[in-house]
Every structure is written in structure tokens, then in C-alpha cells.
């Protein structure tokens, strides 16, 4: 029995997004073992994924580290992968194809291009559409790629929530990577004040990562931790699943919320579009503006007010 390898290094939002793709690949290769090559940050999460049989870790050391590359090549060769599905589609994975993994059938953005089509043009398509095309070009009937279902990732956190409060809550993610500060909407506290003044029965909650703890203290919301530590990805998924509504910047948790089927909204400035990153669903919507600094708390509140009024 030959094996299948999927490559996806991250990020968090990307991992949530490929849930449908993973299911399509699993259903196509039902008689084979499916492995995924990822970073250590996602080992625990992907070990729980029902579409994956085993997880391999890529430390992503510099390419001039020949000893590491040879070790990685040896590991990959050991499993005799017949098919490689490159869902990262990066310069690193292209390098792997050319120098580490030569005797497998390879699926990537490059193999999905039509004659005369350029990768830069293909990359303008919404990300989930690109995955669907990639799978179809690999003779996989893509059924789930456009509708990722991340519910496999969540764990029950009801006991944890009950330590803080009981009742309905809105979950906010007012953070973003320091390198991507242009994604950060600056008026979460003003929005929280509007919500609390008009809907006093609703708790406002946030769940920061370990590097966001100090920022979280400046937000007027209940901070959810587990034993004074940031929640794991699976605990975070469980918290999102229990929430009544999610409000977030364009970050990983926003993508998680979208593909957990939650109602919510994410705020987009000019850095990209909600359509390109495939974040909008039937329940989860985006507010797109040219300048996040000019988007007022009142404007956001008026757009989400009807949803909030439905929360018991």
C-alpha cells in the first residue's frame, strides 16, 4: 500500500481553511495512508484530524542546512509516497519538489495552471477556488473544498467557561500579528461599550495567545485562560463553537470561526479582500473598508445589531 503526503506548514487560518481539501483527499485515497508534513505548532491539532493518519514535522531550517535537508529527504523517502499534495505552494515547497521529492506524482498551484496561465494571475483567485482547481486537475472530485468544516478540531470547554461566567457571550479577537498591524481595527473598546450599554445580559470575552496577553489587558473584556495559560488551538475552537457571535480582525481565529459555522463579522482594511481569502460564509460576514482607522464603532455596531438582539 502506497502512502499520500500533504504539505501544509501553516498558518492557523490556513489550517482551518484546508479542512474540506483534507476530506476530499482522504475520500479519494480511501485505501491509502495519508500523512501531513507541517510545523510543530500544529502537530497536536492535526493528530486529531479524522482525515489524517500520521503527522510529520518540518522544522523549516534554512536551505543551506544540508544535514537537515538530507535527514528530511531520508524520512520522506522512507514512506514511499506515491502522491504529494502541496497545499502550501511556497518557494520552499517548490524547492522540495525539485531537490527532495522527485519520484512522486506532485500536485500544486504550478500543476494546476492551464497552458499560458501565469501563477501570479492564478493567485488572484479566491484561495478555496484555487484549492478546488488544484484537486480537480489531480483527478479528485472536489466536493468539500469550498465548504471547509473545522468542527473536528473543537473540544468541550464548558467547564472552563463556567469558571468565569454563565450565560451567552460574544467572543472578540482584537489582536493581530505585530508584523501585520495594518489589519488591526483600533476601536474595540468603544464597540464593547456600545454593546454593554444596550445588551447588558451579554458577556464580552476574549482569548489571547501567549504573546497577546498584555494587549488583552487593555481591552474591556473577560480574558479566558486555562491555568493562567493561553488556550490551545482545540480549546480555542471549543470556545468559538460555544460563543453566540464573533467579532475579529482578519486573523486565524476569524477563519476558525467562519469554518466552525459561527455567526460573526471580521473587519477588513485595504490589505486584501474577504473574497480573496475565502472567509465569508452563510453566517460569517466581512466589513470591507479602505481605512480601518475611519471605521467607527457605531458603524460596526449598527451592522451587527440585529444579530446581537437575537442573543438570549
CA distance 253 to 303: 20
* Beta bridge partner(s), residue 81: 3
Q: How far is it, in rounded angstroms, from Cα 308 to Cα 170?
A: 9
Pick 153-309's CATH classification: 3.40.50.2000, 1.10.357.10, 3.40.630.30, 3.40.50.80. 3.40.50.2000
Q: In the chain, where does DSSP find H-type helix?
A: 12-17, 19-28, 43-47, 66-78, 91-99, 109-112, 119-122, 127-137, 158-162, 188-198, 213-216, 233-242, 252-259, 297-309
pLDDT at 102: 80
Scored b (16 or more CB within 10 A) or e, 275-292 reads: eebbbbbeebbbbbbeeb
The 10 Å Cβ neighbour count of residue 53 is 15
Spell out the SS3 assignment of 189-223: HHHHHHHHHHCCCCEEEECCCHHHHHHHCCCCCEE
Domain-by-domain residue ranges, the chain? 3-149, 153-309
* Chain centroid to CA 206: 18
d(CA 81, CA 102): 10
CA 116 to chain centre: 31
75 Cβ contact partners less than 8 Å away, ≥ 6 residues apart: 56
Mean pLDDT per 10-residue segment, the chain (312 residues): 90 95 97 97 97 97 95 93 96 93 90 89 94 96 96 96 93 87 93 96 95 93 96 98 97 97 96 94 96 97 96 87
Same fold, 3-149 and 153-309: yes
pTM of the entire structure? 0.94
Query: What order of strands is seen across the sheet that includes strand 81-86?
Result: 54-57, 33-38, 3-7, 81-86, 105-107
- For residue 1, the model assigns a pLDDT of 57
Question: What is the distance, to the nearest Å, from the Cα of residue 214 to the centroid of all Cα atoms in its chain?
Answer: 23
| 18 backbone dihedrals φ, ψ, rounded to 5° | -85, 5
Note the CATH architecture for domain 3-149. Answer: 3-Layer(aba) Sandwich (3.40)
d(CA 246, CA 198): 17
**What pLDDT was estimated at residue 103?**
80
Sheet holding 169-173, edge to edge: 222-223, 203-206, 169-173, 245-249, 264-268, 284-288
Amino acid at each position: 500500500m502506497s502512502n499520500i503526503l500533504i504539505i501544509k506548514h501553516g498558518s492557523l487560518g490556513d489550517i482551518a481553511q484546508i479542512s474540506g481539501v483534507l476530506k476530499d483527499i482522504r475520500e479519494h485515497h480511501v485505501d491509502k495512508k495519508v500523512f501531513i508534513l507541517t510545523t510543530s505548532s500544529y502537530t497536536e491539532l492535526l493528530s486529531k484530524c479524522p482525515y489524517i493518519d500520521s503527522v510529520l514535522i518540518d522544522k523549516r531550517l534554512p536551505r543551506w542546512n544540508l544535514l537537515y535537508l538530507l535527514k528530511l529527504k531520508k524520512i520522506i523517502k522512507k514512506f514511499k509516497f506515491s502522491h504529494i499534495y502541496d497545499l502550501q505552494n511556497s518557494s520552499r515547497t517548490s524547492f522540495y519538489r525539485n531537490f527532495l521529492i522527485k519520484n512522486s506524482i506532485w500536485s500544486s498551484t504550478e500543476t494546476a495552471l492551464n497552458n499560458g496561465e501565469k501563477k501570479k494571475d492564478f493567485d488572484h483567485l479566491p484561495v478555496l477556488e484555487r484549492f478546488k482547481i488544484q484537486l480537480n486537475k489531480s483527478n479528485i472530485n472536489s466536493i468539500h473544498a469550498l465548504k471547509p468544516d473545522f468542527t473536528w478540531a473543537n473540544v468541550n470547554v464548558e467547564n472552563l467557561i463556567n469558571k468565569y461566567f454563565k450565560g451567552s457571550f460574544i467572543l472578540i479577537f482584537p489582536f493581530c500579528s505585530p508584523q501585520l498591524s495594518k489589519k488591526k481595527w483600533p476601536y474595540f473598546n468603544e464597540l464593547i461599550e456600545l454593546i454593554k450599554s444596550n445588551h447588558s445580559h451579554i458577556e464580552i470575552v476574549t482569548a489571547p495567545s501567549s504573546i497577546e496577553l498584555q494587549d488583552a489587558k487593555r481591552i474591556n473584556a473577560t480574558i479566558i485562560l486555562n491555568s493562567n495559560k493561553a488556550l490551545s488551538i482545540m480549546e480555542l475552537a471549543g470556545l468559538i463553537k460555544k460563543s453566540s457571535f464573533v467579532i475579529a480582525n482578519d486573523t486565524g481565529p476569524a477563519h476558525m470561526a467562519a469554518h466552525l459555522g459561527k455567526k460573526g463579522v471580521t473587519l477588513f482594511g485595504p490589505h486584501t479582500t474577504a473574497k480573496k481569502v475565502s472567509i465569508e460564509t452563510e453566517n460569517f460576514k466581512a466589513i470591507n473598508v479602505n481605512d480601518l482607522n475611519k471605521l467607527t464603532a457605531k458603524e460596526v455596531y449598527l451592522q451587527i445589531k440585529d444579530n446581537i438582539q437575537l442573543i438570549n
